[in-house]
Amino acid sequence: SFGLRMYDVIREIKSPIVDVHYDGFLKAYKGLYHTMVQPLEVFSAYHATLERISVRWVDITQHFVNPDASTPVFPRVHTLVMRACRVLERSMLVQAFPNLRVLELTRMNRDFLTIPGGAWDDERIYGKNRNDPLVWTSLDHVHGDVNTVWMLALRCPVGRLDLVFNKGDNLIVKQH
């Protein structure tokens, strides 16, 4: 879990990390601490060895990720699980995890989200991703709630798609 010395502890680990489960939720005195950490920075020292990343309550948006060449790429990561995270741009995931095979995204967290250019609603996020040419060539398995998967506008072939309907999902799925 996220704590005041978490960055120091991770930096001190000398052996290669292959699989990581990280919970960025921090309960503060008399309330919740709503600052979400950016996992690409936290795990950048292990970009060459990580194969599976499971995170909760983290931020991976363009606003927090430096899009220049210094942004870490995790070429060996084949499985990414994100729960209650902020993820707006599919391109950020494709850039950071180009060889991804399994993607799980549930309960995208837009609470407390302030990004230059105004509010980010579902339609705006979907429109940005739909028009973005950066995609994976294919994914073996995608698991996620309906709204989050829809907002990412996946355009690549998916071997298996598992959709979860959460209370409040406002998308109507039609069978063709």
Per-residue pLDDT of the chain (176 residues; tens, 9 = 90+): 455 567 678 778 888 899 988 877 665 544 444 455 667 777 888 999 999 999 887 777 655 555 555 668 999 999 999 988 877 789 888 988 999 999 999 877 665 455 555 566 778 888 889 999 999 999 999 999 888 899 899 999 999 999 988 665 555 444 43
Q: SS3 for 102?
A: strand
pTM for the predicted model, two decimal places: 0.81
Main-chain phi, psi angles of 162, to 5 degrees: -110, 120
| CA atoms within 13 Å, Cβ hemisphere of 62 | 12
Cross-strand pairs, 77: none
